[in-house]
Amino acid sequence: MSLILGIESSCDECSASVVRYHPAVQTPLRPSNVEVLSVATFSQVAIHRPYGGVVPEIASRNHLESINPMIDQAFKEAGVGPHDLDAIAVTNRPGLVGALLVGVSAAKALSYAFKKPLVAVHHLEGHASSLFLDQSAEAADLPLPLLLAIVSGGHTNLYVMKTPPELWPPDFLKRSLVGRSRDDAAGEAFDKTAKILGFPYPGGVWIDKIGKNGNPKTFDLPRALPQKSVFDFSFSGLKTAVSLTAEKLKKMGTLQENLPDLCASIQEAIVDALLRKIFLAARANQCRSLAVVGGVAANSRLRFRLENEWKSQGFEVPPFFPKMSYCTDNAAMIAAAGAFRFRQGHFLRESEMLTLNAIANPEI
């Protein structure tokens, strides 16, 4: 068993978490071996809302103010202290560099003061690890290979996972990648189109909510990259189409009454694109199971359609999603990724830890 503190500050969530990891290399995957003892998160969403998006400088300043209270709260809720830890894990890439530096500095200070190994975590490895957080014992085993879709505000990536996380090679994000967005991420497509329609940031949840009362077939919006052999995405054309449609409706004075239908149509275009490429990539790689993680995994239409369509696509078990609270950015997923890396011996010891830096745009 290992006790790990995770720290996440790559964008607009400032989060600390303590998890207990029960090592077990399992094939098929049994997503139940990381026990979350605490998660303390301060979301800056309301602070950035007036600007219509995250302002990097404001994010760093707010992380500075909330990082220590979040770490204290995570220890308190878990009923442990820094002396009890086996390791400290922190997101050091990719993200807003000023925001990342706050978490990295806090982790380095704790690690140095309490002589604990330090694990540098790639944010996407954190999202991938959210699959293993606190799942009930009934969670279905996931036969490998697993098609993993990371669908967030910054990324839309498809991976084929052939091993359990304890055996993920250090470069698995590069090696297992089979598809990605060539421009905007799916979450970004939700947020940018929502902004065009006048919804507050982040708009994904508004499109989801308002679209529930609309007809997804009303507006014919583009689905890019129709080729069957391509597993990449492109969402920038959708933004332009929504902008033109909204403009036209505004001129006719009917935008407000059309909002539910327009939201439903936008959502359907994004979900259609996601499902199409997920299914194509899964079939081409003989995937036996499917998991979706990241903020957009919270989307109700995406969940509904996957839950209805997985069988016809040849998957052996239902699609797997992390708990809602682990879909958006949180430190528990970083602690889980850190636990797997720590177990593999990938950590910085006392003599090396002060060299750890934040990387805004790593190669992978």
Using CB under 6 A, list all residues that contact ligand KG4: 152-154, 187, 190-191, 202, 204-205, 208, 294-296, 298-299, 328-329
Cis peptide before 28 (omega within 30 of 0): yes
Shortest reach from residue 203's CB to Zn ion, in Å: 17
Closest CB to Zn ion among residues 262, 293: 293
Closest CB to Zn ion among residues 191, 329: 329
Closest CB to ligand KG4 among residues 3, 40: 40
Shortest reach from residue 211's CB to ligand KG4, in Å: 9
Is residue 135 close enough to count as binding Zn ion by CB under 5 A?
A: no
SS3 content of the chain, % helix, strand, coil (to 5): 45, 20, 35
Shortest reach from residue 135's CB to Zn ion, in Å: 19
Closest CB to ligand KG4 among residues 234, 285: 234
Structural contact between residues 187 and 165, judged by C-beta atoms closer than 8 angstroms? no
Q: How far is CA 114 from the centre of its chain?
A: 30
Q: How far is CA 263 from CA 78, 202, 266, 304, 324, in A?
A: 41, 14, 5, 16, 22
12 binds, among ligand KG4, Zn ion, none (CB under 5 to 8 A by kind): none
Structural contact between residues 206 and 297, judged by C-beta atoms closer than 8 angstroms? no
Measure CA of the first residue to CA of the last residue in the chain; give whole Å.
Answer: 30
Widest CA span in the chain:
67
Residue of minimal Cβ distance to ligand KG4: 295
191 binds, among ligand KG4, Zn ion, none (CB under 5 to 8 A by kind): ligand KG4
DSSP helix/strand/coil, 182? coil
Window 308-347: contact mask with Zn ion (x via CB under 5 A): ---------------------x------------------
208 binds, among ligand KG4, Zn ion, none (CB under 5 to 8 A by kind): ligand KG4
3-state SS track over 310-359: CHHHCCCCCCECCCHHHCCCCHHHHHHHHHHHHHCCCCECCCCHHHCCCC
Closest residue by Cα to residue 105 from 86, 90, 95: 90
Q: Which of 9, 105, 152, 289 binds Zn ion (CB under 5 A)?
A: 152
Task: For residue 88, give the DSSP letter.
Answer: E
Closest CB to Zn ion among residues 168, 219: 168
Instruction: Give the dihedral of Cα atoms 312, 313, 316, 321; nearest 10 deg.
Output: -110
Shortest reach from residue 191's CB to ligand KG4, in Å: 5
Shortest reach from residue 330's CB to ligand KG4, in Å: 8
Closest CB to ligand KG4 among residues 20, 192: 192
Shortest reach from residue 12's CB to ligand KG4, in Å: 8
Structural contact between residues 47 and 75, judged by C-beta atoms closer than 8 angstroms? no
33 binds, among Zn ion, ligand KG4, none (CB under 5 to 8 A by kind): none
By the criterion CB under 5 A, which residues form the site for Zn ion?
Answer: 152, 329
